[in-house]
Chains A and B, each alone.
Chain A
Amino acid sequence: GQQVMQIPQYQHVQEGEDFTTYCNSSTTLSNIQWYKQRPGGHPVFLIQLVKSGEVKKQKRLTFQFGEAKKNSSLHITATQTTDVGTYFCAGRTGNQFYFGTGTSLTVIP
């Protein structure tokens, strides 16, 4: 069945280091969304990408959608302690919508 996998599952970084999470789908996605969920919180929408090869930036965050629309990445430059949380990609394929498995980011001050 459809799976949206993310790697790594966990990442510990020193504050100031960069961080990247990768999202891979077994099927082509119509779009890709990224959400952040703080510990004990609920998912919060970050961005949506629709076009093949699309790149979007939000301050220190860079989002990419792969050419084949099966993968995506989120890169954070110079992490801060406020970046702590789990980052989920989520995508639509046909009439179905799946969240990725998530990457839990810990930032060590």
Chain B
Amino acid sequence: DAMVIQNPRYQVTQFGKPVTLSCSQTLNHNVMYWYQQKSSQAPKLLFHYYDKDFNNEADTPDNFQSRRPNTSFCFLDIRSPGLGDAAMYLCATSRGGTYNEQFFGPGTRLTVL
């Protein structure tokens, strides 16, 4: 089945230790998104790729970076995680224009010790 896959599902890191979260998709969608969702809050868009074009939200901290080496894969790099970065990180994809119907992966829950 076509899907959005996120690895790992749970990630524990130490304060200040870089961490990378992965997302892959078999839907062949051209747009990929990264969201941060904290407990009982709405998903907050961090950035998205339209094909190879990177689009950063204005209020996304510099601590968060992303890479998209090909259509199928997208990575979220957190350079120096702080305690406030503990959250669920959701990857999503859409086809065609930006912000069309989005298909979400199961998420990676990040814990920062």
Please give the residue numbers on chain A whose beta carbons come within 8 Å of chain B beta carbons, in ascending order: 31, 33, 35, 41-45, 48, 88, 92, 95-102, 104
Contact = CB atoms under 8 A, between A and B. Distances in A.
Nearest to A1: B59
B42 A88 contact: yes
Nearest to B4: A42
8 closest cross-chain pairs (CB), A and B: A99-B42, A42-B104, A97-B99, A92-B99, A45-B101, A99-B43, A43-B104, A102-B42
B81 interface: no
Given A92-B99, A97-B99, A42 B106 contact: yes
Contacts of B101: 33, 45, 48
B42 A45 contact: no
B44 A43 contact: no
A32 to B, nearest CB: 11
B72 interface: no
A11 B76 CA distance: 34
Contact of B57 (A45, A96, A100): A96
Contacts of A104: 40
Given A92-B99, A96-B57, A42 B105 contact: yes
B99 A43 contact: no
B23 to A, nearest CB: 12
Contacts of A42: 90, 104-107
